[in-house]
């Protein structure tokens, strides 16, 4: 082979090697481009994941706070309901006590009215005037009646004292009743 053919063969081999290198470098650059795209996608996915994780953590924090607030509100509601029921029971008891005092006061008032309506009794007859025995009997009877009336008077004073105490109790119960009604209205609101 002559020198020209050898050079030609050598150049062909070199061209083939260069074409192969060119193909490899094109393939490498394509892989490099794909790798760059994948790196960008991974970075984008990481950023999106970080944002979604941050949002998830914020939502979790808000949820925990809401659960705690809800629990506190439930406990407060249970306490208010218990207090409300206690106030209702106290109100009913005070109301019943007040009604019994009113009933007692009404009975005493009616008994007083009956006592006031007692007819006037004539203590003697015209024919007994001037007779000493009849006068002595009448004096003894009147003294006995005075002692009975004094006992009734003391009983009446005791009843009046009891009624005054009951009236004070009724006033106190009415004030307590009004206060309880106001507390119930406040609790309902």
Query: pLDDT: is 132 or 159 the higher one?
Result: 159
**pLDDT higher than threshold 60 for residue 118:** no
Rounded CA separation 138/136 (Å):
5
Convert the pLDDT of each residue in 1-43 to its tens digit: 688 888 888 888 988 988 888 888 888 788 888 999 999 999 9
* The pLDDT value given to residue 59: 93
Convert the pLDDT of each residue in 121-134 to its tens digit: 555 566 656 666 66
């Amino acid at each position: 082979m002559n020198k020209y053919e050898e050079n030609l063969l050598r150049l062909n081999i070199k061209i083939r090697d260069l074409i192969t290198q060119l193909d490899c470098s094109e393939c490498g650059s394509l892989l490099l481009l794909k790798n760059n795209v994948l790196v960008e996608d991974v970075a984008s996915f990481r950023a999106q994941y970080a944002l979604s994780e941050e949002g998830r953590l914020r939502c979790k924090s808000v949820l925990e706070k809401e659960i705690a607030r809800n629990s506190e509100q439930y406990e407060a509601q249970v306490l208010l309901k218990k207090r409300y029921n206690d106030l209702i029971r106290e109100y009913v008891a005070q109301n019943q006590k007040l009604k019994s005092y009113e009933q007692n006061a009404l009975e005493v008032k009616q008994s007083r009215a009956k006592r006031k309506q007692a007819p006037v009794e004539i203590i003697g007859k015209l024919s007994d005037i001037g007779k000493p025995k009849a006068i002595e009997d009448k004096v003894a009877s009147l003294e006995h009646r005075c002692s009975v009336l004094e006992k009734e008077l003391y009983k009446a004073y005791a009843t009046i004292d009891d009624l005054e105490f009951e009236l004070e109790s009724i006033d106190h119960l009415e004030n307590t009743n009004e206060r309880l009604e106001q507390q119930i209205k406040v609790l309902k609101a």
